[in-house]
Amino acid sequence: MPRVVFLGPPGAGKGTQAKSLAKDLGIPHLSTGDLLREAVREKTSLGEEADVYIRAGRLVPDALVLRILKERLARPDAQPGALFDGYPRNLAQARELTGFAPVDRVISFVIPEPILLERLTQRWNCPKCGTLYNLATRPPKQTGVCDLDGTTLVQRSDDRIDAVRMRLLVYAEQTAPLLEHYRMLGILTPIDATGTPEQVGHRIRTALEHAP
């Protein structure tokens, strides 16, 4: 079973596809954000270290993220393989990952910026239950109100247009060398990430089936 990395800009649909594919393959879906939250929630020693940075509004250092990732990969369910969602984010992280968990295939989500802007700036969520809505593709039944509990929906500050443009710029700057790194290794497969989740999922599975 492979170790697969999903790379793509915010809003490309990596999380949705990763959860579905990981379930089909019987391997864990590893998102660094989820791993950090789990470690903090379970109050592990590494989680308590990470919580200091999170509470201070600072980024958790790469070295600490790596230790949390190594600990997760040591569990029995990750021995057959794993699906990395949005990690590594830069060339240094990619090289570190290769040192202890070599990657078999990298799927790069390719999607035009105008579509990303529409997806991200139309996102609103329920602060109570966490349900995510998209005014363009999955609007609530009643404008501005959560379908499940009637709570007024809010938009995250990083889903506003200026913040979204900055997030995409940072992603492009950090990821261009990473894509070239995996391309040179011969394990990078770009896929068209436009269309329905079912269409994108089919492209991903086809790419993995035909990977060398």
Catalytic site residue 89? yes
- Tokens 């492009």 map to which residue? 172
Positive or negative: CA dihedral 103, 104, 108, 109: negative
Catalytic site residue 43? no
List the catalytic residue out of 70, 165, 167, 205: 167
Half-sphere exposure of 47 (CA within 13 A, CB side): 13
Output the DSSP codes for 18-43.
HHHHHHHHT--EEEHHHHHHHHHHTT
Whether the bond between 88 and the residue before it is cis, its omega within 30 degrees of 0, is: yes
Catalytic site residue 41? no
List the catalytic residue out of 41, 75, 156, 160: 156
Helices and strands in the chain: count of H runs, count of E runs = 8, 7
Cα gap 202→199, rounded to integer Å = 5
List all residues 6 or more positions away from 19 whose beta carbon is below 8 Å from its beta carbon: 29
List the catalytic residue out of 67, 89, 183, 205: 89
What residues are paired with 109 via a beta bridge? Answer: 191
Catalytic site residue 23? no
List the catalytic residue out of 3, 14, 119, 203: 14
Catalytic site residue 123? yes
Catalytic residue numbers, as ranges: 14, 89, 123, 156, 167
